[in-house]
Chain A
Amino acid sequence: MSGIYSYSGYETWLHKLDPRTKLTFTICYLILAFVLPSPLLIAGLPISTPLLMFLAMVLVIWFVARIPPARYLAFLVYLIPIVAGIAFAHTFFLNPCPCFAETTPILRSASVDGFLKGLDIGFRIAAMGVAFLLFSFTTEPFTWGLSMYKAGLPYKAAFMFAFGMRFYPLLQEEFMTIRDALKARGSDLLNGLNPVRLIRGMSITAIPLGLGALHRSQNIALSMELRGFSFPEETGVQRQLFRDIRMRPLDWALTSLCLIVLLGAIVLRLSGFWG
C-alpha cells in the first residue's frame, strides 16, 4: 500500500532533480498561482488561471513523473468539497451584484462575481495541493532531509523530518487495517463522506492508532539509538555522510528559469501590465 505522501520510486528526470530545484519550482508555482491574472482570455473565452495551472500540474505529474491521477484519486476527490465550499461561501458573502437571477430570494443574494472569485481561490488551493504532491511523489524523503541539512538545519532535525515522511505511509497502512477491523464488526464509521460519522469513527480509532504509533515510534527510537544515532553527540565524533546531493547544470538552469518567470510575472503585475 502506498499513500499520498509516499515517494513513487520511479526514475524519471524529474525524480533525479535536486530537491532544492523542485522546492524552488514549487514555491515559484505557488506564488504564480496568486500573481498571475485570472481569468485568462483564451480564444475569446475567459478561463480561470488557477484551474489551468491545476490541470497543467496534473498533466506534468501524469506524463513527466509517470504517476496517473488514479494513484491520488482520493486526494482529488477530497478537493471537490473544499473548492465547492470556498466557491459557495464567496457566492453568498460577496456583494450580489450582478446576482445569478432575480427570480428567488436565494438566487438574488447569490453573487456571480463571488462565485467566480470563489472558484479561483478554490483552484488556487487545489493547485497548491497538487504542487505539493509533485514534490512528495518525486522527491525521496532522505534527499529532502539532506537538502535541509545542507541548508543549515541540525542533522537530527533534518533526519527526523525525512523519517517522518517515511513514517506517514506506515501510519496510513495501520489506519486502513483499523478501518477494515471496524468493518469486520459491522461498522461503516470510517467509510463515506458523512463528516459526523467520520469524526465519530476517527475518535474511536484514535486509541489503537495512537497506541500503535506510540509503540512503533518507541521501537524505532530504540533501534536508532542502538545504531549510534546519538554517538556523535556523546563522543564528539564528527558524523560523516555516505550520500551527497549536488546541483547539476540542469538544476541550475531550471532554478534560474523558475526565478526569471516568477520575477517577470511580479514585474508585470506591479507595472499594471495586466490591468
Chain B
Amino acid sequence: MTTPPPLQLRNVTFSYPSSEEPVLRDINLTIKAGEFVGIVAPTGSGKTTLLGLLGGVIPHYMRGELEGEVLLDGVDTRQLSLPKFATRVGMVLQDPDSQLFNLLVRDEIVWGLENRGYSRAEMLRSLDEILDFFQIEKLRDRITYDLSGGEKQRVVMAAVAVSRPDILLFDNPTSQLDPLGAELVIESIKRVLAAHRTVVMVEDKLDELLEHADRLILLHEGRILLDCPPAKFVRCHEVLAQAGIVPSSVAQLSLRLAAEGLLDGELPLTLADARPIYARLVESPPAPPVADTAPQPAPRSEAPAIQISTLRFVYPPPRPIMAVKRVDLAIERGSFVAIIGQNGSGKTTLARCMSGYLTPTEGRVLVGGEDVHQLKTFRRARRIGYVFQNPATQLFRQSVYDEVAFSLQYQGVAPAEAELRVAEMLQFLDLWEQRDLHPFRLSLGNKQRLAIACIAVLQPDALIVDEPTTGQDPRHAIAVMRLLAGLRERYGTTVITITHAMQLAANFCDRVIAMCRGEVLLDGRPREVFAQSELLATTFVKPPTVAQLALELGISPLPLNVDEAVLAIKSRAANVVKG
C-alpha cells in the first residue's frame, strides 16, 4: 500500500461568507514529504486562504463554503480538530507580535508543550534542544516584547517547531522584518529544511524561494497558474507578467542576457549561482563608464528644506537608550531621500525628531527656516507631513472623500478651495472613483495611497514616509514609490522615506543616508553609498542584488538596476569577444 502524501488538495473551491466570488477555484495540489514548496502570488490572490486550508485553519477556525477535499495523510481535514491538526502541521504567521503571548522567551517556547501535556522534564529537554537548533540560546530569559523583529520571528518559529510537527507552513515570515531580521529568519528556515521537514512558504521575495524551493506555485485570482521548478518558473515571463510578479533582479538579468545571446544553458537565478558564470563573462578590463541614468539630485537652493543641527536624542528611563548620537544634516528642497539602516539604528527616531513628534535631548530642527518644535500642530502639519507605516492607524472617517477633507478641516481652508484640493488629490492618486467607499474597504495598496493623500493634500514642504513598502508585494511597492516621486515632481515636495527596500531606494531616490548606532554612517548619491558595501555591512545593509553582483565582479561605475547591469556586462563581454 502506498503512503498518501502529507497534504493534498483535490478540486478545492472556497468562498468566505462575505465574498461574492470564490477566493480559490478548482485547486489541485499535492505536497510531498520533505519537499519545500514556495507559493508566489500578488496581494489578494488567495495565498493566505490557501495556507489556511493547508494548516487546518479552514474549515476549523475560519468558516466558509468549502468544495472538494483537503487531505492530511489521506484523511479529510473536516474530520480532524484544529488542535489535533496542529500537532502535525505547524504554522508561522506574518506578524510576530500577534504570535507572542507570554512575557519570557522560555515560557513562550514551552507554552505549546504545556498545552499538550508534556512533563516538565520533557519540556526542559525540548526547550534546550530547540534553542540550540535555532541558535537562540542567548534569548532564553529575555522579555519577548524587547526583542527585535527578527528575534521575535525566530522565537515564534522555535515555539511552533518545538512540538515537532512534520510540516511547517510560513506565511510571509520576513515581510515585516529589516534585512538583518529577514536574514536570520531565512537561516532558521534553512535549518528546518536541513532537518528534512516538509515546508510550504508564501513569500513575496522571490530571491529566497528561487534559491531554496524545490517547486514554485504561482497563484493568481484564486487559480494555480504555474506549478514547476524555479528554473522553469522564471522563464514563464508572460504568465508572471500577467500576474504582476516581478522576478528577482538576478533572474531578470540572466533572462535579459540570455535574450542578448550572452548566456545559454541553465540560467543562474541566484546571486550564488550567478557569481562564477558572470565572472567568466566579464573577464576583461573595465569598459568605458556607463551613462548615469539614476535620478539626479535636486538643484541646490539657498535654504535647505530641513536643517538638522547637532541633534541628539535619548529615550527616557526605564530604557534610556541614546537613539540618535549627534546628527547634522541639510536636506535640499525637492530632493527624494532614503534613510536606511538596520532596526535600532536611529532612523525612525531621527525622522520623528524631524517631524516634531519627539523633542530632541539636544540640538534643533529647522523646517523651512522655522524651528519645528516651536510650531503649533496645525502649522507644523503644513510644514512637514508624516505618513506612518500602518495605514489602518491613520484612517478615521466614513468615506475616502471625507478622509482627505478631514485634513483640511484644521487649516482654515475655504470650503470651495478645500473641495478643489481634495478632488485634485484624489484624481492624482487614482482614488476618485472610490471616493464614496469606506476607507477600510480599500485594498492595502489603496489604503496606503489614501494615507499618503491625507497628508499630501496639506501640501507640506516636506513629507516623511515611514517604510511605505513594508508588507506590500513588489508590484505595489513600486507603485507607492512612483506615487512619491510623482508628488515630488508635481508639488515640489521634499520626500524622505525610511526604507529597507534597497532596490527601490536605488531606483527612485537621489540621496541615501545610511544610519548606524544613532549616527550617519554614509550620506550621498545612491551609487556612492551602495559602492561602500563593507561600510554598509556594519549596519547590516546590503546593496541591491545587482549592485552586489557588480561589486564582486569589479564593474565600475556601479550599476544599480538591471538595465544598467545589462549595458555594463554587454560592454565588458563585447571587450572579451574583441580581445
Contact = CB atoms under 8 A, between A and B. Distances in A.
Contact of B160 (A70, A177, A227): A227
A212 interface: yes
Interface of B: 55, 57, 61, 81-84, 86-87, 90-91, 93, 95, 97-99, 101-104, 106-107, 110-120, 123-124, 143, 145-146, 159-160, 163, 316-319, 355, 357, 377-378, 380-382, 385-388, 390, 392-396, 406-407, 409-411, 440, 454-455, 458
Given A9-B318, A219-B93, A222-B61, A242 B114 contact: yes
B61 A186 contact: no
Interface string A70-84: 110000000000000
Interface stretch (A14-22, A30-38, A202-210): A202-210
A223 B385 contact: no
Given A186-B411, A239-B117, A228 B87 contact: yes
A53 B387 CA distance: 46
B318 A227 contact: no
A142 interface: yes
A252 interface: no
Secondary structure of the A contact surface, majority rule? helix
Interface string A148-192: 000000000000000100100110001001101111111110010
Given A71-B318, A227-B86, A227-B115, A191 B107 contact: no
A208 B83 contact: no
B173 to A, nearest CB: 13
B396 A207 contact: yes
A187 B316 contact: no
A79 B318 CA distance: 22
Contacts of B143: 9
A8 to B, nearest CB: 6
28 contacts: A7-B103, A10-B318, A140-B104, A142-B103, A174-B393, A180-B357, A181-B388, A183-B377, A188-B377, A208-B396, A220-B99, A220-B101, A223-B99, A225-B82, A225-B83, A226-B55, A226-B82, A226-B91, A226-B160, A231-B83, A232-B115, A239-B114, A239-B115, A239-B117, A240-B118, A240-B119, A241-B120, A242-B124
Query: 3 closest Cβ contacts across the A-B interface?
Result: A186-B381, A228-B115, A219-B98
B148 to A, nearest CB: 15
A207 B392 CA distance: 10
Given A187-B410, A207-B396, A231-B116, A177 B55 contact: no
A12 interface: no
Contacts of A239: 114-115, 117
Interface size class of chain A, counting residues whose CB lies under 8 Å from the partner chain: 35 or more
B115 A178 contact: no
B401 to A, nearest CB: 15
A68 B55 CA distance: 47
A237 B118 CA distance: 9
Contacts of B91: 226
A228 B163 contact: yes
B159 A142 contact: no
A176 to B, nearest CB: 9
A177 B396 contact: no
